[in-house]
Amino acid sequence: MGFQVGKEMSPQEVEKRLGLGERLYMLDVREPAEWAAGHLVGAIHIPLGQLIERLDELDAAREVIVMCRGGGRSGLACELLGERGFSIVNMTGGLLGWTGEMTGE
C-alpha cells in the first residue's frame, strides 16, 4: 500500500470546528469497548477490522475525519479509505489528545 495520508487535523482543530457549529463527518475506528467508554457525539462507529465490509455505511461524497485512540489505526483506516476514493482527514494524536466533552452511550 503506497497511499500517503495527505490531510491531517489535530484534536484541538476538530474541537474548535465543532465548537463553531460545524457538522463534521467523523468516523471512529476504535474497538467497541473503547467506543462505549467515551466517543464524540455525532461520530460514526465502525471498528477498523470491520471497515472494508461496512464501506457502504459511509458517505463517499463527504470528507471523513477518521479517529482512533492514538492516531495509528486511524492512519491505516485513512489509507484503506483513500485507496477507495474517499476524501479523508486523519485526526492525529487521536482521542488521547482530546480535551473536550465525550459521551459514553
Query: Catalytic residues, which ones?
Result: 68
φ and ψ at residue 27, rounded to 5 degrees: -125, 125
Q: Grid coordinates standing for 28?
A: 471512529
Cα 53 to Cα 46, 48, 56, 91, distances in angstroms: 10, 10, 8, 22
Strands (E), the chain: 8-9, 26-28, 44-45, 64-67, 88-91
Distance of alpha carbon 13 from alpha carbon 8, whole angstroms: 10
Distance of alpha carbon 48 from alpha carbon 95, whole angstroms: 15
